[in-house]
Amino acid sequence: KAGVTQTPRYLIKTRGQQVTLSCSPISGHRSVSWYQQTPGQGLQFLFEYFSETQRNKGNFPGRFSGRQFSNSRSEMNVSTLELGDSALYLCASSTDRSTDTQYFGPGTRLTVL
Amino acid sequence: AQSVAQPEDQVNVAEGNPLTVKCTYSVSGNPYLFWYVQYPNRGLQFLLKYITGDNLVKGSYGFEAEFNKSQTSFHLKKPSALVSDSALYFCAVSAFTSRGYSTLTFGKGTMLLVSP
């Protein structure tokens, strides 16, 4: 099976712009989770989608949003970018149970200037 | 709320020596524990997990981890380290939220440096 794919791999934006990141899960996986990774804060959970519904949400401002499509592909959007949004954004997919392994994509490196 | 602590920011070990990367957790109910590894500019790779059963879990690349319920620990071990094991290691715990669905909480990560 193909792994989790994320596009684009690298992005450079300026403050105030918005950005959309894409994630394609492993075939058959219906749960997609998004994480932000920064040197200072480590890995922080953004949100999780299952069957096109947001099931869980982390402690991030409303500028961060996401959605999931019927084919389980997911996008996350960040509006009004701030310098502090510079990070590696990781997507992970799994089946459904809490015992199931989450498999991660390579990430999207976002740099905000 | 669930949490994971990795008390060491960095672990240094010589190639061929055994290595241990420490992890303790706090969670309500039964913990589901995971170890991941991250190489520079890459995503996380799954190493192993503990769900139930034998306290010693064997995973990829010769790694293993020991679940200790009384000490709420899940330390990662390898009998003989390789230079190529140098990477960032994350411990994570999964547990149900108040809404009934699980989330994965990660520790801060431990950088493992294996010297030749």
Q: What's the pLDDT tens digit per position in A80-105?
A: 999 999 999 999 999 876 678 999 99
What residue in A sits closest to B32 (Cα-Cα)?
A: A99
What residue in A sits closest to B44 (Cα-Cα)?
A: A104
Query: Closest to B106 (Cβ–Cβ): which among A42, A97, A99?
Result: A42
Query: Per-residue pLDDT tens for A2-48?
Result: 899 999 999 999 999 999 999 999 999 999 999 999 998 899 999 99
Strand, helix or coil at A57? strand
Query: Closest to A90 (Cβ–Cβ): which among B43, B107, B108?
Result: B43
Determine which helix (DSSP H) or strand (DSSP E) holds A92, and give its type and residue range.
strand A87-94
pLDDT of residue B67: 95
Calculate the dihedral angle through the C-alpha atoms of A62, B34, A68, B41, rounding to the nearest 10 degrees.
Answer: 80
pLDDT of residue A91: 96
Q: Cβ contacts (< 8 Å) between B109 and chain A: which residues?
A: 42-43
> pLDDT band at B30, cuts 50/70/90?
confident
Please give the mean pLDDT across all residues of chain B. 92
